[in-house]
Chains A and B, each alone.
Chain A
Amino acid sequence: MSKGGEIVLLDCWVSPFCIRVKIALAEKGVEYETRAEEDLFGDKSDLLLTSNPIHKKVPVLLHNGKPLCESTIIVNYIDETWPSPPLLPTSTYNRAQARFWADFIDKKVFDAGHNIWASKGVVPETAKKDFIEILKQLEGALGEKDFFGGDSFGFLDIILIPLTSWFYTIEKFGGFEVKEVCPKISAWMNRCMERETVAKVLPDPEKVYEFAIMIRKMLGIE
């Protein structure tokens, strides 16, 4: 039995939420089995439907058969179950701050990006402005630090970095470049990509772009 028991991840390669879990498990050196849910718009597997009856979404982590849902909650769980190396800050106050920004990222980033790449016709200026404003707020939270938690890669970096695999797609539709409008975020992205745990699981941005085009065709907006 591998370190920590039987671990199965119900996964989809392009989902930034699944990637969060993969990075967290890799950081802890925990082995796991991936089961790809390829057909997210059609038939979902029985295992997915029984493990996550409320939301019916990936990622789902099954630890010795017991399901865990919602990527941020799963990452918290991984950090608590395999404490070394720690992902969340040790100070209670800094933990609350990390959770605050994770909540901000969860509420804002994906939807703002979606308003750009899934927009029918011309991308509204407000959508672009909103997205850039959100990145600027995150730049504020990063400050002069290398990573969101400080000197080391941690929880908040794991929460945000997978969403950046969609930035190339958002840039193409939005007609702007993250490295120009938010250079600090761009520099932080490069620092994260130097880590093997990140580089190994983040999908190729070109492939994400092709996936987005396919979705747009499916929605009839391409």
Chain B
Amino acid sequence: MAEEVVLLDFWPSMFGVRVRIVLAEKGIEYEYREEDLRNKSSLLLQMNPVHKKIPVLIHNGKPVCESSIIVQYIDEVWHDKAPLLPSDPYQRAQARFWVDFIDKKGEEQEAAKKEFIEVLKVLEEQLKDKPFFGGETFGYVDVCLIGFYCWFYVYETFGNFNIEAECPEIIAWAKRCMQKESVSKTLPDGKKVFQELMR
């Protein structure tokens, strides 16, 4: 029987990647459909009305949602090749426990990321059309905030998001600050901070 497999996904998604990997492991052919998360397709909304999120696997027209559930489903349907879950029930329970742990921590990180962006957006509001938080000149708030700029590269890399895309005014402000010698000579380089962290 010809199996029709469609994956609704978003290329940077850590959760979508799980499904792509298992499909590759099992040698399953599928149609990949890229979703624009700011403009979700009617198919996505129809197939995942509860969460409206990717990834969604559509198998012979029927949707399966939630990445760890999709992975288990694929493992059960295509059980002949490259089995992923152990066959022993206790080992299976242990494997599920650790995925649950990863997902819980991942959710906390997602929440932290959203909060971080929200915070930056609130600050952007404060900035409005001014070159600096203090107005025409670099001031107290600018001094206290600019130190975070060297960590943006770390946050972006770990969080897999682009701050400039979300908060372009903040980045423009940071670059203005960097034109001041006191800042550019003092602020550590973002990439160096990242390297230090990875040591």
Contact = CB atoms under 8 A, between A and B. Distances in A.
Kindly state the interface size class of chain B when it binds its partner: 20 to 34
B66 interface: yes
Contact of B97 (A70, A81, A93): A70
B93 interface: yes
Contacts of A81: 89
Most buried by B among A54, A73, A95: A73
B72 to A, nearest CB: 7
28 contacts: A54-B101, A69-B97, A70-B96, A70-B97, A70-B100, A73-B93, A73-B97, A74-B93, A76-B92, A76-B93, A76-B96, A77-B90, A77-B92, A80-B89, A80-B92, A81-B89, A92-B76, A92-B77, A93-B59, A93-B73, A96-B69, A96-B70, A96-B72, A96-B73, A97-B64, A99-B72, A100-B66, A104-B50
Contact of B65 (A66, A69, A74, A100): A100
Contacts, number: 51
Contacts of A74: 93
Interface on chain B toward A: helix, strand, loop, or mixed SS? helix
B76 A95 contact: yes
Given A100-B65, A103-B66, A92 B73 contact: yes
Interface of B: 50, 59, 62, 64-66, 69-70, 72-73, 76-77, 89-90, 92-93, 96-97, 100-101
A165 B100 CA distance: 25
Contacts of A56: none
A80 to B, nearest CB: 4
Interface of A: 54, 63, 66, 68-70, 73-74, 76-77, 80-81, 92-93, 95-97, 99-100, 103-104, 137
Most buried by B among A80, A96, A104, A137: A96
Contact of A77 (B64, B70, B73, B89): B89
A73 B62 contact: no
A75 B159 CA distance: 34
Contacts of B100: 70, 73
A97 B101 CA distance: 21
Contacts of A66: 90
B86 to A, nearest CB: 11
Nearest to A82: B89
Given A73-B96, A93-B62, A104-B50, A63 B90 contact: yes
Given A76-B96, A99-B72, A68 B90 contact: yes
